[in-house]
A and B are shown apart, each in its own frame.
Chain A
Amino acid sequence: MRPLKPKRNLKLCAVWVFCVLAVIRLDALTMSELLNDPKMTPKRFASLFEHFKFEMHPFDVQDPNQFLGTECGDCIDYAVLADYVLKLKGFGTRLIRVEMIGKNTGHAVCYVTENRAYLDYNNRKYAFKLERSGPTIREVAAKVADSFDANWTYAQEFTFDYQTFNKRAVFTVVKTDPPAKDPDKVKPQAQRAKPNS
């Protein structure tokens, strides 16, 4: 058996290190990677979650590190994380949850004002990860409910704080109410920003 040459060993080590780093990067997406990505966009954000699994979490919103580490979560984990990361990157984001009582389900998405579209955990594996929609809660709710082949009952814009893990309602729109009197139409953008501050 011939001894390995030192130059060849070096090459092999470099390849091994690169592979390990690549695997770590793919396996464990971290919060700091998301926050430090200079090219982060809603589309790029969505593409990082293609391989994530769906798993309902009993305690509402998961810790983001747990979500990223386990690569398992539900719509609200994804939406809240998208809202957090993209807001820090300067995007205008809004968290919207849609309740479909007839279907006995609810769904949360993160609307990005600049893209006039929302990020939906159910679309993470599709080519079009951003679902285009009008900016009102009613429009987003109708679109989300359509994707479930269901009627929506009410939808709520809310904020979430990772520090306190508290959700706060901003506007609640009820489907049976007159659309002209929807609170997100009646009240200006300033009111929307109030709960965040």
Chain B
Amino acid sequence: MQDKTIRRVLAFFLLISAVLIVVAVQAVRNINRSVATSDWVNHTHAVILEAEALRSALYVGDGALHTYVLTGDARDLAACRDALANVTEHLEITKALTRFEPAQHEQTIQLDSQVNQRTGFLQGILAAQQAGNAETVRAMLTVDASRTALRDIQRKIEKLKADELALLTERDNASYLQAQATRWTVWAGVVLDVLLLGGVAWLIRDDLAARRRVTVALQEANEQLESRVKARTAELAAANTQLSTENLERQWANQALEHQLRYNQLIVDSISDLVLVITKALNISRVNPAVIHLTGLESTALINQPLASVVRLLPAHPGVDAPLLDPVAQALKDGRDLRDQLAIVEDKRGRQIPVRFTLIPLRDRDKVVGGVVTLQIVPPEVKAEE
């Protein structure tokens, strides 16, 4: 959640920066365009002023010429020459100003031609006057009585001025529109940035609220967990105490059992009769020291050996054949005792010792799992009687 919010906030700030950059670039471009338009406005004014100055200089020159013709004063001649020099200067500037405006330049070229003709004509009058050729001067002035050429020039200048004024209106409109565009760009940028900042603020507020909710939930969960941990700890402590008690009791029981086992072992071992524990398959699983003593075999040699390899039942009556079924196996199968049966034990040296054979089945939960065979050595006198 945190990373997502940071990414969103960063995205918003990038957007705000982008808007700012776009606004700045656009505003600077508009300002540059506005400056260019302002230059064009100045340029138009310059053309108008130069055209006006040209007309003025032409009239001044014309007037000075007429005065000079009348007075012959050198000062009037100088004034006329100055005015004609000014005409040339203003014409040159007007030409330069309209150099890259084809329509206006065309007009200026025409004007140039007419003005040159006019100045040439005036120079001619001056030359004639200076040469003292009054007739020529008079004739030339008579030809120029209506000043048609000067009026033509004036019309041309008026036309040029009118065109420039139209351009001025156009450029002024452009300047106004550029200023408006700059205003709109800046304000739109500001509004957009404010909206974006609002979005960021909302996002941050939302994130903080979510964080608060999460904190509260986490706190509640922690409290629940803590109480559950406490309960579980108490349960575990109780279980541990119980287990410890049980362990102690089991330890005691085991000790008692061990003690009982050892005691039983001692009892069995202390019996002078031969005791053999057999499995259900009639194999010896355990013997007491009396068996080892009598047979002379080690317990390892006896264990897992068939019972028949150590002891053999005798027939109940001499001369009777041995029963078809093994009575020991039968007794175990039936789960009954077999008592005081005559039997022979063969020791290590092959000596046969008569014994009384008793079998008691070993039961585990009412199921015969083996048997205990006890062998009592038959005393010699009893043996003789039998």
Using a CB–CB cutoff of 8 Å, the interface residues on chain A facing chain B are 99-102, 151, 153-154, 156, 166-167, 169, 172-178, 181, 183
Contact = CB atoms under 8 A, between A and B. Distances in A.
A179 B197 CA distance: 44
B39 A176 contact: yes
B99 A169 contact: no
A24 to B, nearest CB: 33
Interface string B85-124: 1000100110011011000000000000000000000000
B93 A172 contact: yes
Contacts of B266: none
Given A175-B42, A178-B100, 17 more contacts: A101-B45, A101-B46, A102-B42, A151-B38, A151-B42, A153-B42, A153-B45, A153-B46, A154-B43, A154-B93, A156-B93, A166-B85, A174-B97, A174-B99, A174-B100, A175-B43, A177-B100
Contacts, number: 56
A93 B89 CA distance: 21
Contacts of B46: 99, 101, 153-154
A101 B43 CA distance: 8
Contacts of B38: 102, 151
Nearest to A103: B42
A9 B49 CA distance: 66
B229 to A, nearest CB: 80
B35 interface: yes
A176 B40 contact: yes
Contacts of B45: 101-102, 153
Contact of B85 (A167, A172, A176): A167
Query: Chain B contact residues (Cβ within 8 angstroms of A): what range?
Result: 10 to 19
Nearest to B85: A166
A58 to B, nearest CB: 12
Contact of B39 (A156, A167, A172, A175): A175
B36 interface: yes
A64 B40 CA distance: 37
Contacts of A166: 85
A178 B39 CA distance: 13
A167 B99 contact: no
Interface string B69-85: 00000000000000001
A154 B46 CA distance: 8
B195 to A, nearest CB: 37
Interface in B19-49: 35-36, 38-43, 45-46, 49
6 A-B pairs with the lowest CB-CB distances in the bound complex, closest first: A172-B96, A101-B42, A153-B42, A101-B46, A153-B46, A102-B42
Contacts of A183: 96
7 contacts: A100-B42, A102-B38, A102-B42, A151-B38, A154-B96, A169-B89, A174-B43
A99 B46 CA distance: 9
A101 B49 contact: yes
Contact of A176 (B43, B49, B92, B93): B43
Contacts of A167: 85, 89
A37 B325 CA distance: 164
Name which of B36, B49, B96 has the most chain A CB atoms within 10 A of its CB: B96
B99 to A, nearest CB: 6
A165 to B, nearest CB: 8
A101 to B, nearest CB: 4
A100 B39 CA distance: 10
A172 B92 contact: yes
Contacts of B92: 169, 172
Nearest to A167: B89
B130 to A, nearest CB: 16
A99 B49 CA distance: 12
Nearest to A158: B89
Contacts of A178: 100
A151 B96 contact: no
Nearest to B92: A169
A94 B346 CA distance: 153
A194 to B, nearest CB: 14
Contacts of A181: 100
A100 B99 CA distance: 19
Contacts of B39: 151, 153, 175-176
A153 B38 CA distance: 10
B96 A176 contact: no
B35 A151 contact: yes
